[in-house]
Structure 1
């Protein structure tokens, strides 16, 4: 049952407007459509009632006029003046025999059936839906008869059809005009909100010192501005707290870490006879340097958590540092010459975002690491590929989380730091599929 409801909601969601403006326009058009349908139906009902009333009125008038003529002409016996008998009129005697007149062949049987009536009766007959009115009368001589009058209803039905078409066309025009008006009004009303949202997003990423400062919340926009100002204040406070905490932790960790690395290097310089001890000291020194690089990256993220976007670089500016990050462990193939676009970030931050990916490729590759670059309209995509065994399926979804590594034995810190560093200047790090290995794509925003 829940699955059915979820499927129904997801199906309805595909047809729901994706914007608030679209929802307003859709609801307005829907209400106007319902209103116009009701108006058109109401007009048709009124026209139908009026047409039936007019047809009956015509039948009554023609019948009254002819009955008076028959009564005046039939002083001794039933006499029908031919010159006074109009088309569509038939006079029957008291026995139901036709005396004079004629009607259309399609309604002749219906007229004969009405001829035996002793009360006023209206019937429909024939393919053209003619209306018949049978009226009994008595002449001054005492003879009885029935006058049957037919009236074609096609002209009235055509008038109703034309009125329906005109009402439908008018309704469509009214609905279209309503949609355009609603779209224009909502666009003008929501434009300030869109501008404020874009500015707030830009300020939250690049400069948290800006505020709307629209004054007291006397209207909806001023209230929204005050809310966004408060939100920016809280974001700025949270970022400052994070920067302060990260900076303090980095400084506190650097002192003992420097001591560890210095002691290990000094012991190596003095010389160690035992190969096992020397290997342990080299591992301690390498781990200390790696941890120092991580701390430096975290400190840079804290200091440059929001970049101004005014600094820029090119891919060619960062490739030498990326090659140096490989440390000669594997061959680095540079295929970035085709990229000429400007990246909206300083070269140092770009290097710190991509270098962990190069180091990761060197750890898991076999012979070479390939660095490729492609320019797109809004970003530059820098891809780091290796020829290793790829990424295990079980860790692909959580690969960028702290403590998760491609293979057993890794610390699982470099990829998460790379993504966080890239996001600090509006970029992103994504996992792709490489031929026979892993591929990490870094999307760098263009200036």
Structure 2
């Protein structure tokens, strides 16, 4: 049903204008046709009455002693009947002769339509000065009137089509001209969002609706840029404050391990402390880079630029099956940011896989889908609905932060990360990346 729906505001306006004009023209054509039909019928009836009245007057004047019909004055299509219904004089077309004979016995004026609506008849009773009664039946051909109606209707339809076409052209030109500044503003805003948020429309004082819209958007861009700068500043400060103690913790743990610890349990605890501090530092770095890249993107990449970074995460821990060669679409995000978004998914698959991790890519009209699948035990049903929330983990150890960060990073450039429905063996994560 939405297949032929307009895809732009301009198309909607033009379609609505043409639709209303078409509806109005249909009403006008039907109205004109009804008026013409009514007028033609009234003219036919008036002609029949006038002819009948004129002939009755002639017959009455000529019939001072008995019913007399002047044959030289009787027009074609007229028949006079006496009071018994017998034809006295005149003739009509053969196709309405029987109908005229039935009207010859009428005792009051009566009009009827002939067979096929090609002729119309009118019976007019009269009385002569001598006291004789009779009926005059007059026929009138309706073909010329109907032809006039058809010609008028055809001309009206052609005129209506011309009006509709002219309306469509005018509406298209007017809306194109009126919306051209809006199109330019949208193009500029899209370019600025990718490269620089410091630009403004600067349309001047709000003397019209578009200038007022430009001023409103300028204020909105000011607030957005201010919010982004505040977020970046806060993220940088937090990263700096957190990196220092984490570096100290990791350094102390590594130094203690280098000095040598005889107790195996203590050595394992120190290794865990060092690894956790290193992981937390990586998380902080990733979030900081994502906050910076959210306003500095403008670059694009392809799946082929992303896969090497993902394969490097796997290293030699399991077998990697790369099925991304068919993908050639451009992704609307830099390769390093896409790698950071997909890295927790790949790392999760490696930790759960038995022997193999499969990476697939499929191009769609509006997105590129990257699927990471492992051959492990799959995801517990108890945590599927909350898997991307912080603190939730499946069968593996860990705090469960990686998948939530992956989704957050994907959403930062318009993507999404989801867990596919359960299949036979393993888990499958689907990363949707916006196309350029």
Q: TM-score category by the smaller chain?
A: 0.7 to 0.9
State the TM-score, normalizing by the size of structure 2.
0.84
Change in CA separation of 1:389 and 1:186 when aligned onto 2, cut-off 3 Å = farther
Counterpart CA distance in 2 for 1:81 and 1:165 is 44
Aligned match of 1:41: 30
Aligned with residue 253 of structure 1, among 205, 224, 242 = 242
From 337, 341, 345, give the equivalent of 1:353.
Answer: 341
1:185 corresponds in structure 2 to 174
Tell me the residue number matched to 1:294. 283
Count the aligned residue pairs: 434
Instruction: Quote the Cα distance in structure 1 between the aligned partners of 2:81 and 2:229.
Output: 107
Residue equivalent to 2:376: 388
Moved more, 233-242 or 418-427: 418-427
Q: Quick check: 56-65 or 371-380, which moved more?
A: 371-380
Structure-2 residue corresponding to 1:326:
314
Match of 1:153 among 142, 153, 160: 142
Equivalences for residues 12-51 of structure 1 within 5 A: 19-51=8-40
Match of 1:277 among 266, 277, 281: 266
Cα shift at 1:367 = 1.4
Structure 1 residues 339, 81: closer, same or farther in 2, change over 3 A? closer
Q: Distance in 2 between matches of 1:142 and 1:313?
A: 110
How is 1:149-228 mapped onto 2 (pairs within 5 angstroms)? 149-228=138-217
Name the structure 2 match of 1:115: 104
Deviations along 1:13-66, whole A, 9 cap, x unmatched?
899755433432333233223322331232123212321232123213322443
Tell me, in whole angstroms, the C-alpha distance in 2 between the residues paired with 1:57 and 1:279. 116
The alpha carbon displacement at 1:217 in A equals 0.9
Query: What TM-score comes out, normalization by structure 1 length?
Result: 0.82
CA contact (8 A) 1:309 1:425 kept: no
Rounded to whole Å, the distance in 1 between the matches of 2:351 and 2:241 is: 29
Q: Secondary structure in 1 aligned to 2:31?
A: helix
Alignment of 1:387-426 (within 5 A): 387-392=375-380, 399-407=387-395, 409-424=397-412
In the TM superposition, residue 316 of structure 1 has moved relative to its aligned partner by 6.0
Deviation at 1:99, TM superposition (A): 1.4
Alignment of 1:305-316 (within 5 A): 305-310=294-299
Q: Find the counterpart in structure 2 of residue 4 from structure 1.
A: none
Structure 1 residues 321-330 or 203-212, which shifts more? 321-330
SS of the residue 1:81 aligns to: coil
Please, which runs of 5 or more residues in structure 2 have no aligned partner? none
Unaligned 5+ runs, structure 1: 1-10
1:238 aligned residue? 227
In the alignment, what sits opposite 1:363? 351
Is the 8 Å Cα contact of residues 200 and 228 (structure 1) preserved in structure 2?
no
1:52 aligns with 2:46: no
Does the residue aligned with 1:146 lie in a helix, a strand or coil?
A: strand
After superposition, the CA RMSD in angstroms is: 3.5
Q: Please, which moves more after superposition, 46-55 or 216-225?
A: 46-55
C-alpha distance 150-180 of structure 1, shift in aligned 2 (>3 A): same
CA distance in 2 between partners of 1:214 and 1:294 (Å): 43
Whether 1:263 and 2:265 are equivalent positions in the alignment is no
